Every structure is written in structure tokens, then in C-alpha cells.
């Protein structure tokens, strides 16, 4: 589950399944957004160097070519286990806390990281992390609070694992469907709007920004 809220009243709750393969690849399958059913999968295949977003509603796939640097960073972020160092300013080092998440005992740490100036969303992020030593120190809950210069929380996201199944995930979760159409993010928004018979609110600013990232990735693939 992932929850997002900000100081303007926006509140979103995502329910998703996340699976990790032993080769470093993973998939996130979003199934509900604010109680509304969805079917959206993001498959990261580090061996193929691709990230593919699969939208069942529009029968679209959006494929991003990952650079070697991106793949290396992804693999490094998955390694380390309990020896993985904290990044940022450590406010509270790892310490055992008297609670369990999904039945597992956990440790908690708190870090802070300055945000680049000019983003207009806050001064720093305060990140609270709960990990389970019995699961190789997998992070079971992460709460990120964005704080402005006056110390106010302007945005908060919460990600928590609510059910855990150890072991290698089913290969079907990573399967890319045949017969789907390759579309840019903006084209996916437009197709969804067409199917709903509504205006495309995401086709302007959001679609344009995401399409720039998409086109940059496709250029790497062609090179």
C-alpha cells in the first residue's frame, strides 16, 4: 500500500503487489487507486535493460530503455541487506522498536536529505524506515515527509508492505502481453480519455513532461 497526501488536501491511496526476482528484476502491479480498480503493471527487467509499463485498460505498453548506469544503480539499491548504509544525514540510527509489521519484528532509522533549490516543494525530506532483519532487512515501511523552510510538512508519502510471501515470484507477473500497442505516456492518457468519453486532463503538462522522458529513453535504444 502507498499513501500520498499534501497540504492542499490531495489524498491518494494505492494498493499494489510488488515482487522481486533473485536476478534483481521486479514488478509493481497497481490494483486499486482510492478504492477504484485499476490494472497497471510496471516491469523492470535488469537483464534486458528495460522498464515496461503495461496498462490493461487501454491495452498499451510503454517501454523505456534503461542505461547501464541506471541498471547498475538499481542493482546496487537492492544489494547490501543489513549492511546497506543509510544515505543522508542520520537523525536516528537503526534501533529495535516494540512493534511488528506483517508479523515481523522490525528496526527503525530516520534520515534527512536536503532537496535541490528551485524545486518549489520544500527544503528537505525526512525519511523514516522500518526494516525486518528476518527478511534480510527488507524495508517494510517507509514514510517520507517533505518539510518547508518554516518546518511545516507540505507533503507526505507512506509505503507499507501489508502481506509478504517469501520466495521466487511467478514468471507470469513479468510477462509482457502480446497484442498491446506501444504508446507514449501522453498517448496512453489520450486513449484512456477516449475510452471514457471525457476530456484528457493529463494530456497537457503531465503528458508532455513524461513524453520527454520517454522520447529520451527511446533515443538511447535507437543509438
Strand order, beta sheet including 50-55: 89-101, 104-114, 124-132, 138-147, 153-160, 2-6, 11-20, 26-33, 36-45, 50-55, 60-65, 181-182
Q: Which parts of the chain register pLDDT below 50?
A: 223
Contact 145, 110 (CB under 8 A): no
- What percent helix, strand, coil does the chain show, rounded to 5? 25, 45, 30
Work out the burial of residue 130: count CB atoms within 10 Å of its CB; fewer than 13 is exposed, 13-18 middle, 19 or more buried: buried
pLDDT at 131: 95
Contact 15, 3 (CB under 8 A): no
User: What are the cell numbers at 168?
Assistant: 521466487
Instruction: Tell me which residue of 16, 2, 23, 102 sits closest to 53, measured CA to CA.
Output: 16
User: What are the cell numbers at 84?
Assistant: 546497506
**pTM assigned to the model:** 0.77
pLDDT tens per residue across span 50-68: 999 999 999 999 999 998 8
Instruction: Tell me which residue of 59, 44, 77 sits closest to 217, measured CA to CA.
Output: 44
pLDDT tens per residue across span 112-123: 998 876 556 668
pLDDT at 121: 61
Q: Is 113 helix (H, G, I), strand (E, B) or coil?
A: strand
pLDDT at 127: 96
Amino acid at each position: 500500500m502507498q499513501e500520498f497526501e499534501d497540504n492542499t488536501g490531495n489524498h491518494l491511496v494505492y494498493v499494489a503487489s510488488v515482487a522481486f526476482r533473485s536476478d534483481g528484476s521486479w514488478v509493481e502491479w497497481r490494483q486499486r487507486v482510492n478504492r477504484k480498480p485499476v490494472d497497471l503493471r510496471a516491469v523492470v527487467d535488469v537483464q534486458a535493460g528495460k522498464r515496461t509499463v503495461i496498462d490493461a485498460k487501454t491495452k498499451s505498453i510503454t517501454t523505456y530503455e534503461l542505461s547501464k548506469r541506471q541498471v547498475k544503480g538499481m542493482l546496487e539499491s537492492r544489494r547490501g541487506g543489513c549492511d546497506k548504509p543509510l544515505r543522508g544525514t542520520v537523525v536516528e540510527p537503526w534501533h529495535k522498536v516494540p512493534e511488528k509489521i506483517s508479523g515481523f519484528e522490525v528496526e527503525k532509522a530516520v534520515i534527512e536529505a536536503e532537496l535541490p533549490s528551485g524545486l518549489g516543494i520544500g527544503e528537505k525530506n525526512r525519511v523514516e524506515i522500518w526494516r525486518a532483519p528476518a527478511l534480510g532487512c527488507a524495508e517494510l515501511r517507509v514514510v517520507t515527509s517533505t518539510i518547508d523552510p518554516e518546518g511545516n510538512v507540505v507533503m507526505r508519502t507512506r509505503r507499507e508492505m501489508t502481506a509478504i510471501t517469501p520466495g521466487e515470484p511467478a514468471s507470469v507477473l513479468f510477462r509482457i502481453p502480446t497484442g498491446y500497442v506501444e504508446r507514449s505516456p501522453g498517448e496512453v492518457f489520450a486513449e484512456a480519455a477516449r475510452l471514457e468519453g471525457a476530456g484528457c486532463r493529463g494530456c497537457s503538462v503531465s503528458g508532455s513532461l513524461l513524453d520527454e522522458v520517454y522520447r529520451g529513453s527511446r533515443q538511447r535504444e535507437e543509438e
